A and B are shown apart, each in its own frame.
Chain A
């Protein structure tokens, strides 16, 4: 069977070779990249622009961004027909293709985030290693000690001037990281926006729309994860308090959590407004200019994909969370609902771009419907089905857990 035939239903006239070749994993790819870029931008808002309110969540989102990082190329690997040849993108890059830059931009970005993390956590690594050096160690402690030693890269100096240098380096890296993060995601938008063969994708607004919605989704996921972890800590501290061990008290934690969430969600709203404005501009423009492709686009947007676009994406994914987060007296519960809906909205936006762009034939005389494989009956449906998508969604949380073993995100002493 031809790749794509399994999940494509054709209606009316579709060119014989046309199928939905870009399926769920290509929806996941810009979604995950967006989360990476968004999380990083959030942490940079504190490091570069000095938004003091974001201090608590800045370190958290930086580590989270690094955990998300390997999950951006993951959907691509699951999508490739020849995944073992993935390194050819680095070996013989063809820069007239938007995808060719992926390897290089992605690695540059990875290096920047890793370096920034190193400067943020260097003191912690040194202290961990020194603390474990001159005493008997258990097996896990030996492992920890070895890891910490390696991670110091031999730089043991934690004097004031050395730490000052670290801080300066963090600032520089965070500043350079913002344009690179925007580039990383903007060009994910460019991959779609530059396909002249696809009437729905081809618009110069695509990269900008992608960046805005990326920041929105990144912040939303950071807030959400932050809330989940904070709630966990509150529960633990309540238990500890009962047994007379705990500091700080659950009440302190709760009020601190709500302040952070409220302040961060304001930044989310700014980017959300920007993203919606641009998307609507695009839609209005297409309808007003009504070029050759508008007939088929109209029937896709207003008929075939109406529920996906206007109910799930704009309605549930944009308008409802906008109101939830904007109305005064934000509560944690409302923030959770709001950020979850924002994530749904951004996911649906990716879906409507990737799948929606293939919902009509290049002949403009027929439609294609995507039926996502649910049961993994073959390697193809395993990789490019619900299972593959879930794998991509859950991996960053596992990685985040592992990273925080070496790089704790709460209750740290140092200044940045």
Chain B
């Protein structure tokens, strides 16, 4: 009964102790200071693996010519050769298993990303052959006249004639 002054301290002690117990339960064991030190590397280590395990959707054009040699041949001498197949055909994912077939983006909005004429002089964009999307055959899909895989002017004319 003599000294009651420290009594609130006991309450504090109990609170602190219970927080430390909670900490031991809640915090994953691999949470700690890692490669970049406390300032930049204080984290749960297994999260790095979680990020590495994210599904790759875009598989690049590297595998396409194996099953589609005709398309690859079309593209070989075309200015569109620099465009990744997946930019127009969508991410490969697990193709041909899933998806078996592709949705092919034939919309005008796809083409005018580069071919809407912007008057920016002698810059890469300014040099790209372009049209005014509000005036150039507004109702038509570009592929009606232009072959996307090899859109050289000669090809267009042949396509239009045939």
Contacts and interface: CB of A to CB of B under 8 A. Distances in A.
Nearest to A95: B38
Contacts of B5: 165-166, 169
A332 B6 CA distance: 42
Q: Which interface class (under 10, 10 to 19, 20 to 34, 35 or more) fits A?
A: 20 to 34
B22 to A, nearest CB: 7
Interface string A114-151: 11001100100000000000000000000000000000
Interface string B34-50: 00001100100000000
Nearest to B19: A90
A153 interface: yes
A92 B4 contact: no
A119 B11 CA distance: 14
- Residue among A90, A155, A165, A166 with the most chain B CB within 10 A? A155
B152 to A, nearest CB: 36
Contacts, number: 43
B47 to A, nearest CB: 12
B27 A92 contact: yes
B7 A155 contact: yes
A87 interface: yes
Per DSSP, chain B at the interface is helix
A96 B7 contact: no
B8 A114 contact: yes
A96 B39 contact: yes
Contact of B26 (A91, A114, A154, A157): A91
A96 B11 CA distance: 29
B8 A118 contact: yes
A153 B8 contact: yes
Contacts of A122: 4
Q: Which interface class (under 10, 10 to 19, 20 to 34, 35 or more) fits B?
A: 10 to 19
A96 B4 contact: no
B26 A156 contact: no
B1 A156 contact: yes
B23 A157 contact: no
Contacts of B42: 92, 94
Given A118-B8, A154-B7, A87 B1 contact: no
Given A90-B19, A92-B42, A96-B39, A155 B4 contact: yes
B100 interface: no
Interface in B1-40: 1, 3-5, 7-8, 11-12, 15, 19, 22-23, 26-27, 31, 38-39
11 contacts: A87-B22, A90-B23, A91-B27, A92-B31, A96-B39, A111-B8, A114-B8, A115-B12, A153-B4, A153-B8, A157-B1
Given A87-B26, A169-B5, 14 more contacts: A92-B31, A92-B42, A107-B15, A111-B8, A111-B12, A115-B12, A118-B8, A119-B8, A153-B4, A153-B8, A154-B7, A156-B1, A157-B1, A165-B5
